Amino acid sequence: MDSLIEFKKLYNKFISRKGATPIVSLNYFKELLPYMTAFRGEYAGRTLEINFVIHDGQIAKGFYKVRDESVKDSKLLNSIGSVIIWEILMHFQRQGYQTFDLGGLQINPAIQYFKLSFGGDVIPTYSYEAALTPLARAMIKIKKIIEQKIRRLYHIS
């Protein structure tokens, strides 16, 4: 429960900078507690990142992640994030899990390399975006153009 309260504080701090709606109630998360494990990254007694992983006995999937964006030391935040990923994988591996979905492979080759360094097999999964309005279709086209430019920049096929 302490992790939920810390998560709410960090999330609301982050989301208020974006001008979005903060979390008011933790009831949704409380219902999921039996299927959720929290992983917290701290430095000097201060929580800098919390990851919630949802699991069902076979698959462990990244559910929510929030970090303290007020920390300007990106190396520190990235290091904490890497340690948390390691802890997540080790925790669920000890429990016999063989399938982990922590957000898939990334466009950034450094992140992709890091995730692949744990071994295992990449299992392709797919998703889709339904564009029901002209504005939504235009936004998806813009997103695809940006993704293509990023792929060219990082030399990803």
Q: How confident is the model at residue 39 (pLDDT cuts 50, 70, 90)?
A: very high
Average pLDDT over residues 8-23: 80
Identity at 18, one-letter amino acid code: K
47-62 burial, b at 16+ Cβ within 10 Å, e below that, comes to bbbbbbbebeeeebeb
Task: Write down all domains in the chain, each with its CATH number in brackets.
Answer: 2-126 (3.40.630.30), 127-157 (no CATH)
Phi/psi-derived region of residue 103, left when phi > 0, alpha when psi is between -120 and 50, beta in every other case: left
CA 6 to chain CA centroid, Å, is 17
Residue 105 clears pLDDT 70, i.e. is over it: no
pTM of the model: 0.69
Pairing of strands 59-67, 99-101: parallel
Q: How confident is the model at residue 131 (pLDDT cuts 50, 70, 90)?
A: low
pLDDT tens for residues 78-103?
899 889 998 998 999 899 988 888 77
Q: What does the chain come to in residues?
A: 157
**In degrees to the nearest 10, what's the CA dihedral of 75, 73, 66, 44?**
100
**Strands across the sheet containing 36-43:** 36-43, 46-55, 59-67, 99-101
Cα-based distances in Å from 90 to 6, 33, 107: 23, 20, 25
> Using one digit for the tens of pLDDT, what is the confidence trace for 44-55?
999 999 999 999
On the question of pLDDT at 157 being above 60, the answer is no
Indicate the average pLDDT of the chain: 82
